Amino acid sequence: MKKQGLTSKIVLGLTLLFFYLPILYIIVFSFNSTRSLTSFGGFSLRWYEKMFSDSAMMEAVFYTVIIAVIATAVSTVVGTITAIGLSKSKKVVQQIVEGVNQLPVMNPDIVTAISLLIFFSAIAVKKGFFTMLLAHIMFCIPYVMLSVTPKLRSLDPNLIDAAMDLGATPFQALVKVIVPQIRPGIISGALIAFTMSFDDFIISYFVTGNGVQNISILVYTMSKRVNPSINALSTLMILLITFVLGVVNLVPILQARRGRKEGVTPMSRRSKAMIGAAVIVVGIVAVVVGMSFSGDRKKEDAIAKYGSDTMKLYITGEYLGEDVISNFEKQFGVDVIVEYFDSNEMMYTKLQAGDAYDVVIPSDYMIERLMQLDMLQPLDHSRLPNLENLSPAVQNLSFDPDNSYSVPYFWGSVGIVYNHENVDPKDVEEQGYGVLLNTDYAGQLYVYDSERDSFMMAFKNLGYSMNSDDPAEIQAAYEWLLQMNATMEPAYVTDEVIDGMINGYKDIAVVYSGDATVILDENEEMSFWMPMEGTNIWYDCMVVPKNAENPLLAHEFINYMLTYEAAYDNSEYVGYTSPHVEVEAEMSTSEDLYADNPAYMPRTGYEKDEVFTFNEAQKKALSELWIKVKAH
């Protein structure tokens, strides 16, 4: 018996450790002095300072809380009234409505998200705060009804009649008799609704726009780098939740001990405590966010000159220098709304749905696709005098030879980072991408979770063009990837490859050159190699969509990004190769920057290197086969 009790305690302890160790991990690393998410470099409050100074993060907090509070309030009222009304309806009506009510709960979020996206686009509603709020209210109401309905079914059906026989009006019977009886269900439904709204990502991502994003969208779209400020934000959220739970549970106990408010049930005490704590938390958030947004500028000059004081930028996450946006806003007296996407395909979906942005930064093959579909407007070169600052390496690109529609933002390559202490450099240099099939390094491999980049490795190692749409060559590349999957046990990753290689968790990784630059800067045991069988040379460029609302400001921004100051800030912070000729030269020759870092400058003029082109047939084939590769 004692052994069973000891075993139960051990299991309980391990379970608690499993659940709470990650939370403790986040709290500890929120005070890390370095950018690493796995290696603690010393105590510092730098990420808290950066969090409060990051307007995008503060806006995300604000929108998350406000939308969650409003959606919870509205859905609780509507859901409760609907449930009460249904309880007095005919059986067939109840069954039909309850069946419809369960659809949003059972339906996959992605289906609901796409449906709402199409609906809002069809009725030409501008996506933003209002559309996200409506979507949250919509998917929260069913959870409230599911929580309240069982409580109503447990009540005596004659309760309202009895109250009215005693002189109560229908409204009094509802408020003073029914609602107190079902209060636990209402509170539970409200808590579920708040949690669902606060935590939602998929539906929010598809229905938002105009710079409105919640915390989950902000975190997910940091696809280039994981910002350690998220640890600081998570820690504060944990502390606030702990505070609320403490108030909810301690206040009723203290009141009961002191003998206050006799006749009040513990549930009512707990409800009032919960409401009070929630008000305090919302107040704190409002004050903090309000402080971060104080000091608005006069914008009359910008409106007179450009016709608007706001520009919308659509870019992949963590792909901007620290001061690029703030300096542009100060210099031109405008506001920049920055929205993030995690992939070119996701960006394309939003543009196809009609979302309007002034400047978008897609990759080469996607630019080609947008040009083919006439979704871009030609650039006015007279408004872009800084085009003369472009490096010769990024001029006359195959997909847009005259920069008629695009201006380079960053460029780079894909190569192999390896630990030269554990991996023989000759193996990498002689085998190229073939080293990914070398079983001497099985279990020590990171590969990008990307169909395009993964098939590129296979194509190149087999001697094919990475733009091949030949069925036999695609099949051979597919079998190459299956062999790698079966013999090498690769870990498929995205941005976490940076921290993993910095800390030496694996010995080989296929990475973008900018990520490799950061890895080599942080870990002296790492080396970089561009395979001789060729690789992908890529270009991310600034374009102005056809439906841009502020093309004049868009041109001003593009021209600004070609200034020395903006290009330097961008490249120095992100680590990718600048298109600015002076910045590129300084970054690659200065010992204080990337002179000794072989990953910073991509290879040029090598005949086996290629740029991706858009090929619908290839894309479809690779997408289907990549699913099978991952399934194995």
Query: pLDDT tens across 377-424, in order?
Result: 999 999 999 999 999 999 989 999 999 999 999 999 999 999 999 999
Is beta strand 335-341 parallel, antiparallel or unpaired with respect to 310-316?
parallel
Q: Stretch 158-185: mean pLDDT, rounded?
A: 80
- pLDDT confidence of 544, banded at 50, 70, 90? very high
b/e per residue 215-247 (b: at least 16 CB within 10 A)? bbbbbbbbbbbbbbbbbbbbbbbeebeeebeeb
Beta-bridge mates of residue 313: 338, 359
Residue 291's pLDDT is what? 47
- pLDDT confidence of 558, banded at 50, 70, 90? very high
Q: Stretch 90-103: mean pLDDT, rounded?
A: 81
Q: Which fold has domain 300-409+541-589?
A: D-Maltodextrin-Binding Protein; domain 2 (3.40.190)
pTM here is: 0.73
Q: Which residue has the higher pLDDT, 304 or 171?
A: 171
The answer to whether 240 touches 279, Cβ cutoff 8 Å, is no
Q: Stretch 263-267: mean pLDDT, rounded?
A: 49
Structure-derived torsion over alpha carbons of residues 344, 345, 351, 354, reported in degrees to the nearest 10:
-160
Interval 449-461: pLDDT, tens: 889 999 999 999 9
Q: Does 119 have pLDDT greater than 60?
A: yes
Interval 323-357: pLDDT, tens: 899 899 989 989 888 888 888 988 998 898 888 89
Q: Does 135 have pLDDT greater than 50?
A: yes
The answer to whether 451 touches 622, Cβ cutoff 8 Å, is yes
- pLDDT confidence of 282, banded at 50, 70, 90? low
Contacts of 383 (CB under 8 A, 6+ apart): 552, 555, 556, 559
Q: Does 182 have pLDDT greater than 90?
A: no
Residue 556's pLDDT is what? 96
* Nearest CA-CA partner of 419 in 489, 512, 511, 506: 506
Q: Stretch 144-152: mean pLDDT, rounded?
A: 88
- pLDDT confidence of 134, banded at 50, 70, 90? very high
Q: Could you tell me the residue ranges of all domains in the chain?
A: 52-291, 300-409+541-589, 411-539+594-631
Q: Does 9 have pLDDT greater than 80?
A: no
The alpha helices in 389-533, defined as continuous H runs, are 425-431, 451-461, 471-488, 496-502, 513-522
Which position has the token pair 């199409």? 118
Tokens found for residue 320 = 């901007």
Q: Which residue has the higher pLDDT, 249 or 588?
A: 588
Write the burial class of residue 120 (CB in 10 Å: 0-12 exposed, 13-18 middle, 19+ buried): buried
How many angstroms separate the CA atoms of 266 and 274, rounded? 12
- 3-state class (DSSP) for residue 526: strand
Tokens found for residue 383 = 């408004």
Sign of the CA dihedral running 252, 255, 260, 262? positive
Q: Which fold has domain 411-539+594-631?
A: D-Maltodextrin-Binding Protein; domain 2 (3.40.190)
Is beta strand 406-419 parallel, antiparallel or unpaired with respect to 537-543?
antiparallel
How many angstroms separate the CA atoms of 242 and 106, rounded? 31
How many angstroms separate the CA atoms of 4 and 10, rounded? 10
How many angstroms separate the CA atoms of 557 and 570, rounded? 14
Q: Does 145 have pLDDT greater than 80?
A: yes
* Nearest CA-CA partner of 290 in 49, 52, 130: 52
Residue 297's pLDDT is what? 47
Q: Does 274 have pLDDT greater than 70?
A: no
DSSP 174: I
Residue 281's pLDDT is what? 52
Q: Is 609 left (phi over 0), alpha (psi -120 to 50) or beta?
A: beta
Indicate the CATH number for domain 52-291: 1.10.3720.10
Tokens found for residue 502 = 């910095």
The answer to whether 334 touches 379, Cβ cutoff 8 Å, is no
DSSP 176: I
Domains 300-409+541-589 and 411-539+594-631 share a fold: yes
Residue 370's pLDDT is what? 96
The pLDDT mean for the chain works out to 85
The answer to whether 533 touches 606, Cβ cutoff 8 Å, is no
Interval 566-603: pLDDT, tens: 999 999 888 899 999 999 999 988 887 888 899 999 99
How many angstroms separate the CA atoms of 338 and 354, rounded? 17
